Structure 1
Amino acid sequence: MPTTIRTPKSSAAPHAMPAPEHLLEFRNIRIVYDNAIEAIRDVSIAVPEGGIVALLGSNGAGKSTLLKAMSGILYTEEGVVESGTISFRNEEVHRLAPDELVRRGIVQVPEGRRVFPALTIDENLQMGGYTKTAAEARDRRETVFALFPRLFERRDQVAGYMSGGEQQMLAIGRALMTDPVLLALDEPSLGLAPLIIDRIYEVIARLRDEMKMTVLLVEQNAQRALDIADYGYILETGRVVLDGTAKKLAANEDVQEFYLGVSHAGRKSLRDVKHYKRRKRWLS
């Protein structure tokens, strides 16, 4: 079984142009569904290369919509970018097809995992590496198995019979087969047991620390996300209401109360947390 992670070799020329300040940028983005419903309003977000950026917010805040716009799949839900731009490596990409975005290195693991249930783990990984040569796919497969030994152990098992946690590992592994430059994860902890979440988040941190991969992390579990993120944005009703370093956000009293469920009086009840919108100081 593979025991080491192979980091991609740099193909940059000795006198290559310097990297852009931000790998990915949303600039004044407005997104509308069905020509009527404004889902995102004037949002600007920057994702620096080699870091983890967290998009936090309650259900329906617009987090997943931003990922769909970045991945070129808004059209499947009658959504359009009405104004603003999405840039990747200083080039506008919001009008590109999904397969072209993948070839450029933008890869998303959608909410709900969505593995191919009738295929084995190995076959799912092969599907993920369809843009690579056979040799490249073998290298990527070894990397995935080093990150997720459980997948190696069960590589001949049909994916539909795996647990939710194993399917999440497989979904991430399949995305890694493309050798992404930027990996977007949509609610990777959703519905998983705490021990599995620990493993998933350990791998996310390793992707940044050992493989120098850029990660855009969408989460409702703010505590988990802020524990490993470098920077974070909080979205509410389609706009950014707060941003800062993960350390700064975690120390913010409003974030502690409304997203972490903690105040100076102690941990708040779920009922209290659900009614936070009425009292948010930054929205007043």
Structure 2
Amino acid sequence: MLTLTNLQVLYDRSIQAVRDVSLTVPKGKVVALLGSNGAGKSTILKAISGVLGQEDGEVIGGDIRFEGDSLVHAAPRAIIERGLLQVPEGRALFATLTVEENLIMGGYTRSPAETREGLERVYAMFPRVKERRKQISGYLSGGEQQMVAIGRALMGRPRLLMLDEPSLGLAPQIVETIFETVLALNRDTGLTVLLVEQNAQVALKAASYGYIIENGRIVLDGPADKLAANDDVQEFYLGFAAGERKSMRDVKHYKRRKRWLS
């Protein structure tokens, strides 16, 4: 459904943030893109969404194809209308608008009837969002804001939903609720999902396939269960070695000798 082939992204005409990245997101699947902060994950999503120009970034090589058509030179609106929608890192709500106004903004390419139907679907999925639909979004908790951000993307009736760090800064119980909702959508409606996460443990449980990116390059990929069982992934991303939990300080120290980068 979505294929990246040897993608290269440059910022400020000098900083190469993504280097020859190739990955595939099959229709109806949940695919995880894992990596530490600054590895290039969000840049890949921005390239797919066509918004790199807002940060003086550009695709300088490779291709991005959705159902066979290149998206490299497509306008953001055209990409949204094709059904690729992103939930950005940090939620990025319109803080001074109400919850319902934020949701309506997500359906701006849809008819009034479709917008009304979309609101009902979102409220059914997230009852807490319905309870707070008249409140100003900037006063919501982090978990509530994330629910609104996902709901806003769903208002556009995505065929492929891209989630950028959905667990960031949230309590485990809220993370579980959000992931259960996304997985239910995938299971019940066939929604395709590209999940970008630092939380490898959560992401690999949700995904069927995963890619690991370091310094702008894909360094490892495979079925999610095999990645979770991989010694290097357990040591460097899940904090385990020889079956024992390591401290974050130890994990950072061991990162210096990653076998796949040697």
TM-score > 0.5 by shorter chain? yes
Query: Match of 1:49, SS?
Result: coil
- Structure 1: which 5+ runs fail to align? 1-22
Q: TM-score, normalised by structure 1?
A: 0.91
Q: Matched residues in 2 for 1:276 and 1:85: separation?
A: 34
Aligned residue number for residue 81 of structure 2: 103
- Alignment match of 2:51 (pick from 58, 62, 73): 73
- Alignment match of 2:176 (pick from 174, 198, 203): 198
CA RMSD of aligned residues (A): 0.8
1:25-63 CA distance string (max 9 Å, x none): 100111111111111111100000011100001111110
Q: Matched residues in 1 for 2:9 and 2:101: separation?
A: 36
1:222-245 CA distance string (max 9 Å, x none): 000001101000000000000001
Identity %: 61
Q: Matched residues in 2 for 1:236 and 1:275: separation?
A: 16
> Residue 277 of structure 1: CA displacement?
2.7
Query: Match of 1:180, SS?
Result: coil
Q: Which one-letter code corresponds to 2:26 in the other structure?
A: P
Aligned residue number for residue 47 of structure 1: 25
> Residue 275 of structure 1: CA displacement?
2.5
Q: Matched residues in 1 for 2:183 and 2:253: separation?
A: 32
Q: Which one-letter code corresponds to 1:243 in the other structure?
A: D
1:111-146 CA distance string (max 9 Å, x none): 010111111111111111111111111111111111
Q: Matched residues in 2 for 1:198 and 1:265: separation?
A: 25
Aligned residue number for residue 58 of structure 1: 36
- Structure 2: which 5+ runs fail to align? none
> Residue 274 of structure 1: CA displacement?
1.5
Aligned residue number for residue 257 of structure 1: 235
Q: Matched residues in 2 for 1:274 and 1:197: separation?
A: 25
Aligned residue number for residue 152 of structure 1: 130
Q: Which runs of at least 4 in structure 1 moved beyond 4 Å after TM superposition? A: none
User: Is 1:114 matched up with 2:92?
Assistant: yes
Aligned residue number for residue 220 of structure 1: 198
Q: Which one-letter code corresponds to 2:258 in the other structure?
A: K
Q: Matched residues in 2 for 1:181 and 1:163: separation?
A: 28
Q: Matched residues in 2 for 1:277 and 1:82: separation?
A: 30
Superposition map of 1:231-246 within 5 A: 231-246=209-224
- Alignment match of 2:112 (pick from 130, 134, 145): 134
Q: Matched residues in 1 for 2:243 and 2:169: separation?
A: 29
> Residue 265 of structure 1: CA displacement?
4.9
Equivalenced residues, count: 262
> Residue 264 of structure 1: CA displacement?
0.8
Q: Matched residues in 2 for 1:175 and 1:255: separation?
A: 31
Aligned residue number for residue 17 of structure 1: none
Q: Matched residues in 1 for 2:103 and 2:243: separation?
A: 49
Q: Matched residues in 2 for 1:230 and 1:215: separation?
A: 10
1:83-120 CA distance string (max 9 Å, x none): 10000010001111111100110111110101111111
